Amino acid sequence: MRVGDIAAGRAGDKGDTLDLSLVACDQAAYELLCKALTPERLQPLMNRIVPGPVMRYEVPGLRALKFVLPQALPGGVYASLHPGLHWQKAAIWLLLDLHVEDEGHTLLAPVDRQERRP
């Protein structure tokens, strides 16, 4: 199941920090995301794209998870060598496009580019 099928999201930035918010569509989805999207599991996936640690805050009243990556945007968005300005506004798809499963155990996997390439 794709994260984006059970949650909406938005990316923001302040200085070197990237922040990613997810809001789950219902309580079951929220609980699944809490189990699947642990900072320990996310960090190696995120570090394929951005550097530094991943911190997580839970906001159960809003069924929301908040991910904060304090070193992800070194020098701020204007120092980025991505084409054009503000690539980080699309960074929420790094989470929305992950896959989570919950059949006795929890799994988290990115789309595999090599496998899926025609």
Partner 1 sequence: MTHQVCVLGAGAGFAGDRVDPAVVLARAGVDAVVLECLAERTLVPAIRARRDNPQAGYDPRLVRRLTPLLPVAREKGCRIVSNLGAANPVAAAERIARLARELGLPGLKVAAVVGDDVSDRAAQVRWVREPGAPLLGAHAYLGCHRLADALAQGADVVVTGRVADSALFSAVARDRLVPGEDALAGAIGVGHLLECGGQLTGGNYEPIAGAGLPPPLSAEQYASLGYPLARVMADGSAEIGLPPGAPGIVDALTCSLQLLYEVHDPSYYATPDLVVDFSGVRFETLGENRVRMSGVRSKGPPPTLKVAGFVDRPGFIMDCEIALAGAGARERAEVMAQALRLRLGDWADGDIAVDLVGAGSVLRAGSQPMQGPAPEMRVHVSARCSDGEQAQIIEDEVYAMTLSGPAGGCSVRSEKRPRIEVLDGFIEHQQVPTQLHWSQS
Contacting residues toward partner 1, per CB under 8 A: 4-10, 12-15, 17, 19, 21, 23, 25-26, 45, 48-49, 57, 59, 61-64, 66, 68, 75-76, 78-85, 87, 89-91, 93-94, 97, 110-111, 113, 116-118
Question: C-beta of 41: minimal distance to partner 1 in Å?
Answer: 15
Residue 80 or 106 with smaller CB distance to partner 1:
80
Question: C-beta of 33: minimal distance to partner 1 in Å?
Answer: 12
Question: C-beta of 45: minimal distance to partner 1 in Å?
Answer: 8
**Which H, E and C letters describe the chain, residue by residue?**
CEHHHCEEEEEEEECCEEEEEEEECCHHHHHHHHHHCCHHHHHHHHCCCCCCCCEEEEEHHHCEEEEEECCCCCCCHHHCCCCCCCHHHHCCHHHHCCEEEECCCEEEECCCHHHHCC
